[in-house]
Amino acid sequence: MSRSHIPMTPANSEIALPPIAHARFGIGEIVRHRMFDFRGVIFDIDPIFANSDEWYDAIPEDIRPKKDQPFYHLLAENMESSYIAYVSQQNLIPDDSDEPVDHPAIRGLFSDYADGRYTLRPQHRH
């Protein structure tokens, strides 16, 4: 037997993969933060945490979410302003207001608003 051929044994035949968390919300859906007073429309989803360690460490430890869950990019708004937010799945709930989100970037990403959600614009590439 050559050194380049390693027989498969029960010990090395399976690779342990981390559990996959499924996204509860979809792109175009309007959601609300569970603890803070803001809402937004989802424009991107990371299957697990994909921001900087500095950003993560700035969250107070007692409310810091686990990294092994979907994180959502939101075009967000509160009473004072509009901005982009990055929020863990555990901190989002559906928004049942049936009101559109007032964010200046919506027209660039979404085409229509109906039945409480936005339709993503098709991408045109040259």
Which tokens in the block code for residue 37? 């007073």
Tell me what pLDDT residue 17 has.
59
Tell me what pLDDT residue 122 has.
87
Residue extents of the structural domains in the chain: 30-120
At 50, the amino acid letter reads A
How far is the C-alpha of 110 from the C-alpha of 120, rounded, in Å?
A: 4
Q: For the chain, what is the mean pLDDT?
A: 88
Tell me what pLDDT residue 1 has.
46
Contact 30, 39 (CB under 8 A): yes
List Cα–Cα distances, 33 to 37, 44, 45, 86, in angstroms: 7, 16, 15, 11
Instruction: Average the pLDDT over 52-75 and give the result.
Output: 96
Is the pLDDT assigned to residue 33 strictly greater than 90? yes
Which tokens in the block code for residue 61? 């430890």
Q: Which residue has the higher pLDDT, 123 or 24?
A: 24
How far is the C-alpha of 44 from the C-alpha of 73, rounded, in Å?
A: 5
Q: pTM of the predicted model, to two decimals?
A: 0.81
Question: Residues 68-88: pLDDT tens digits?
Answer: 999 999 999 999 999 999 999
Q: How many CA atoms lie within 13 A of 77 on its CB side?
A: 13
